Amino acid sequence: MIMDRLSDAHSLVELLGDWTTAGGPLYRKLAGAVAKGIEVGDLPAGERLPSERDLAKLLTVSRATVVAAYDELRGKGLVDSVRGSGTRVSARPRVNGAHGRVPGGRATSIFQRLADGPGPIISLAMAIEPAAPELAEVYRDLAEGGELTELMTDVGYHPRGYPPLRAAVAEHYTAVGLPTEADEVLITTGAQQVIGLVAQMYLRPGSTVVVESPSWPGCLDVFRAAGARLVGVPLDDEGVRADRLAAVFAEERPVLTYLMPTFHNPTGRMMSAARRRRVAELAARYNVPVLEDNAYSGFHGRTGAAPPPIGAFARGNAEILSVGSVAKSVWGGLRIGWVRGPSAIVTRLARYKVRADLGSPVLDQALTARLLPRLEEITATRAATMRARLDHTRALLAEQLPSWRWQTPDGGSALWVELPDTSAQIFAQVALRHGVEAVPGSATDPTGAHDNHIRVPFTFPIEVITELVRRLAGAWADLQRHGPVTDSTPVV
């Protein structure tokens, strides 16, 4: 299943973000958002804008609103319209910086939300929590003990990672069933950096990467930025479907497979031990490297521990890289991750790492080395809070949005919700006007198979969850009763 189905209208909607929160008439809000995209270079000269009808449908506004917005842009000399060629960004010279947008990317609004920070809306783009209290404890221990003084006399450069942390990560993997030595571990600045380093090492323009369908948009954009072609494989209750994975391996001959076996994002599913063993067998048979991302954690809905990583089932020539981090379990601000793999591969990745930043912050690594042995304790402490928030979210959704459907996740931090007979991208535009920023399923799976899904995190405090569901219910009622918004403001 090829995962690069895109259209001009969908791409522009992704760039517009929370455009309805600006002031003024609706058509001017839209014109202002498009103008900003032009001015910063996200919409380059000559790029064709969607038709008024297509854009109006996706934004759930009247066609007259889009017509008026395009007229406003033409009046400012930002776009030109030629019969038969549609509306295009003006070719007049402008001074622009690099916009950083990935061609065909779908995580633009998610990353923009990170850059913009909190706003008046409730954003579903991220499932994040404050730092675990244990972080403050180990910070004090580090400061009051002798280790900090010793660290301050150190050179501070450890491109492969602070040795005590590499040893702690190796012990962590050994304890969960994947025997590991320190030279098989590379410390990185978060799990996201691992994805980028692996993309640099494995991918070339035109390379095929197999991913789950749906998957995390941020990682998909990293692969697209490297020029990769994405092929999606669906999931069942045990994780990625092995039969479809085998067929794709045989037909596509991919250079890499990216999977999230533990609390898959966005579905929250846990891949079974049997399925992990099967994936490892297929990787060895077809000689396809596997990048398994186990960085997602939070609420653990199943009894007992997670199965060992896929790497624990590797046999023969299977090349499996296992990724982890403390961002989800401890704090997003502690930007420390790691990758475990064959020592020769880890050595090659380290060369890319040293070129990127010479090494991750040593003080953060020292804190992580102290936290890692307590990871299970930290997760267990948070479990009760997450369970209460999940139960509250489910109860409110069942009461106020009874037609919505979801499957209680095995773990993680969000519900993967199906909207009945409705495009989530259209609903997202209505939700914006009710104060909620939703990420439509099309961002996680551009094939169209999950266009009617949204991810609803339950990491918010109880009172925020209550307000969130109230706003979602209001947006849903608005869409069901009235359909697209009509801009009654006179065009002047």
Chain mean pLDDT for the chain: 89
Structure confidence at residue 116 (pLDDT):
53
Does 386 fall in a domain?
yes
Residue 220 in this model has a pLDDT that exceeds 80 = yes
* pLDDT-based confidence at residue 3 (cuts at 50, 70, 90): low
Residue 304 has pLDDT above 50, yes or no: yes
4, part of any domain: no
pLDDT tens digits, residue range 23-57? 889 999 999 999 998 988 889 898 899 999 999 98
pLDDT number for residue 402? 98
Question: What's the average model confidence in pLDDT over 298-319?
Answer: 84
pLDDT at 86: 87
- Indicate whether 488 belongs to any domain: no
Question: What are 437's strand-pairing partners?
Answer: 123
Model pTM above 0.75: yes
Do residues 36 and 176 both lie within one domain? no
Q: Based on the domain organization, do 37 and 85 belong to the same domain?
A: yes
The predicted model gives 158-187 an average pLDDT of 97
Query: What's the whole-number mean pLDDT along residues 249-275?
Result: 97
Angle between helices 375-400 and 133-144 in degrees, nearest 10: 160
Structural domain count of the chain = 3
Return the pLDDT at 104. 57
* Structural domain for 81, as ranges: 9-89
Tell me which residue has tokens 């067929």: 247
Amino acid at 32: G
3-class state of residue 53 by DSSP: helix
> Do residue 387 and residue 372 come from a single domain?
no
Mean pLDDT (whole number) for 132-161: 90
Specify whether 265 is located in the same domain as 159: yes
Q: What are phi and psi of 35, to 5 degrees?
A: -60, -40
**Assigned domain for 222 exists:** yes
Which of the listed residues 376, 406, 431 is the one where a domain comes to its end? 376
Residue 429 has a pLDDT of 92
93 pLDDT more than 50: no
Q: Closest Cα to residue 247, out of 275, 205, 282?
A: 282
Identify the three-state secondary structure at position 346: helix
Average the pLDDT over 302-321 and give the result: 88
Q: In which band, very low, low, confident or very high, does the pLDDT at 491 lie, cut at 50, 70 and 90?
A: very low
Residues 262 and 343 in one domain: yes
| pLDDT of 7 strictly over 50 | no
- Token pair, residue 9, equals 């209208």
> Same domain, yes or no, for 235 and 263?
yes
Same-domain check for residues 178 and 284: yes
pLDDT at 113: 46
> Is 489 part of a structural domain of the chain?
no
pLDDT score of 232 more than 60:
yes
CATH at residue 48: 1.10.10.10
What was the pLDDT predicted at 161? 97
> Do 233 and 341 lie in a common domain?
yes
Give 52-86 pLDDT, tens digit per residue: 999 998 898 889 999 999 999 999 999 998 877 78
Q: How confident is the model at residue 6 (pLDDT cuts 50, 70, 90)?
A: very low
* The two structure tokens encoding residue 199: 């993309």
Question: Strand 208-213 to strand 256-259: parallel, antiparallel, or no bridges (unpaired)?
Answer: parallel
- Residues 418, 472: one domain? yes
CA distance 174 to 344: 19
Q: Which residue among 376, 404, 431 closes a domain?
A: 376
Question: Is pLDDT above 80 for 111?
Answer: no
Give 392-430 pLDDT, tens digit per residue: 999 999 999 999 999 999 999 999 999 999 999 999 999
Are 28 and 157 members of one domain? no
Out of 376, 402, 437, pick the residue that ends a domain: 376
Residue 1's pLDDT is what? Answer: 65
Per residue in 322-356, pLDDT (tens digit) is: 999 999 899 999 999 999 999 999 999 999 999 99
Q: Does residue 95 or residue 163 have the better pLDDT?
A: 163
What are the contacts of 340-348 at 24+ separation with CB within 8 A?
340/169, 340/170, 340/173, 340/178, 340/180, 340/184, 340/185, 340/309, 340/311, 341/184, 341/311, 342/184, 343/181, 343/183, 343/184, 345/319, 345/321, 346/160, 346/183, 346/184, 346/185, 346/186, 348/201
* Shared domain check, 435 and 372: no
pLDDT at 344: 96
Residues 18 and 149 in one domain: no
Question: Would the pLDDT of 486 be above 60?
Answer: no
Structure token digits, residue 137: 């404890």
pLDDT value of residue 316: 86
pLDDT bin (cut points 50, 70, 90) of residue 131 is very high
**pLDDT bracket for residue 249 (50, 70, 90):** very high
Average pLDDT of span 439-457: 92
Range with lowest mean pLDDT among 11-20, 51-60, 427-436? 11-20
How large is the average pLDDT for residues 150-163? Answer: 92
Radius of gyration of the chain (CA): 24
- pLDDT for residue 283: 97
pLDDT band at 204 (very low <50, low <70, confident <90, very high): very high
pLDDT at 85: 76
* Residue 24 within a domain: yes
pLDDT of residue 41: 85
Do β-strands 405-406 and 414-418 pair in parallel, antiparallel, or remain unpaired? antiparallel
Say if 1 falls within a structural domain.
Answer: no
290 within domain boundaries: yes
Q: What is the CATH number of the domain that holds 315?
A: 3.40.640.10
The CATH number of residue 442's host domain is: 3.90.1150.10
Q: Calculate helix-pair angle for 8-16, 108-116, nearest 10 degrees.
A: 10
Q: What is the pLDDT of residue 16?
A: 87
